[in-house]
Amino acid sequence: MSVNEPQSGEGPPPPPETSGQPPETPYPPPPPPPTAPVAPAKPWQPVGVVPERLSDVYYRTGLTIFLTIITLGIWGFLWTYRTSEDLKKYNGDGLGGVLGIVIYLLISFVLMFTIPNEIKNMYERDGRPSPITAVWGLWFLLPLIGNIVWYVKVQRVLNEFWLSKGSPPA
């Protein structure tokens, strides 16, 4: 009897010799641990949301100018919030309402460049030439009349875009 052969009652036979490869296991090996922390997923936010109806006071040019003057600029906060939120909901990026208000409080003239820029990006993503660019913000250099000209143009361009996307008119 050879040394490798089992003798009766001495236990199980030895495993067969392999060619240097580890024996196969019925389960795959676990994946290696991640080397870098994984960023948490952003909450799902729909993109391409247009305003429900343009009859709301925020979309009426003359009424917004009147309310801004009568409230000594307070209505401008509401318009800024609403407009920034609308742009963010449609584009999926941008300032958003809260950050728009913070900028309005601290350095309001910056919004005169950022809002037209977001509108320009919105038009370009839609494959259309934009009737407005960030340079339009230079209207802030003309006191009072520059703000009115800027607002009238921005609101008209926004309303035209929302109407083209199916938002019901006033």
Q: What's the rounded Cα separation, in Å, for the pair 92 and 70?
A: 33
Q: What's the rounded Cα separation, in Å, for the pair 109 and 151?
A: 12
Residue 49 or 35, more confident: 49
Mean pLDDT over 137-165 rounds to 92
Q: Is the pLDDT of residue 98 over 60?
A: yes
Token code pair at residue 39: 């960023």
Token code pair at residue 18: 């392999």
Q: Is the pLDDT of residue 157 over 80?
A: yes
Mean pLDDT over 63-82 rounds to 92
Q: Is the pLDDT of residue 139 over 80?
A: yes
Matching residue, tokens 């009424």: 63
Q: What pLDDT score does 87 carry?
A: 92
Whether the model clears a pTM of 0.75, i.e. scores above it, the answer is no
The model's pLDDT over 7-24, given as tens digits with 9 standing for 90+, comes to: 555 666 666 565 566 556
The one-character DSSP state at 92 is S
